């Protein structure tokens, strides 16, 4: 799995600007309902499910820690957040929801990135 800095770099190379709003958590750390921000429950094959939100040429998926189901509200920090290319389904970035907070932080303040 990528580090937050690696994920931010991969997203930048792919032409994606990271939104400064977390899809699962408020700025104060409370939980958000991802369906309220455009995520929909989808079947991903093999009996697996995810939350998905499309955005132009890319889409974001959120799954449980093992990648097989929608996240459990009690374990959101361990959920996986992945960003994929619509054209071919290629994974651009994938980190835990907790690490996504750091991706957002690095986007907000790039001076924190250590080379």
Task: Report helix, strand or coil for 60.
Answer: strand
Q: What is the pTM of this model?
A: 0.90
| 65-84 confidence digits (pLDDT tens) | 999 999 988 888 899 999 99
| 13-35 confidence digits (pLDDT tens) | 999 988 878 888 888 888 888 88
Would you say residue 115 has pLDDT above 60? no
Query: Taking a C-beta distance cutoff of 8 angstroms, is the pair 105, 29 a contact?
Result: no
Q: What is the DSSP string of 73-95?
A: GGGGGG-EEEEEETTT--EEEEE
Closest residue by Cα to residue 97 from 112, 66, 114, 75: 75
């Amino acid at each position: 799995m990528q580090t937050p800095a690696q994920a931010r770099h991969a997203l930048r190379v792919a032409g994606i600007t990271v939104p400064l709003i977390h899809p699962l958590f408020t700025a104060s750390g409370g939980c958000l309902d991802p369906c309220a921000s455009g995520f929909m429950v989808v079947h991903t094959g093999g009996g697996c499910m995810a939350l998905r939100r499309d955005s132009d040429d890319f889409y974001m998926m959120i799954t449980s820690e093992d990648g097989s189901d929608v996240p459990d509200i009690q374990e959101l920090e361990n959920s996986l957040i992945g960003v994929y290319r619509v054209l071919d389904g290629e994974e651009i970035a994938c980190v835990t929801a907790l690490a996504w907070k750091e991706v957002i932080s690095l986007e907000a303040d790039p001076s924190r990135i250590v080379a």
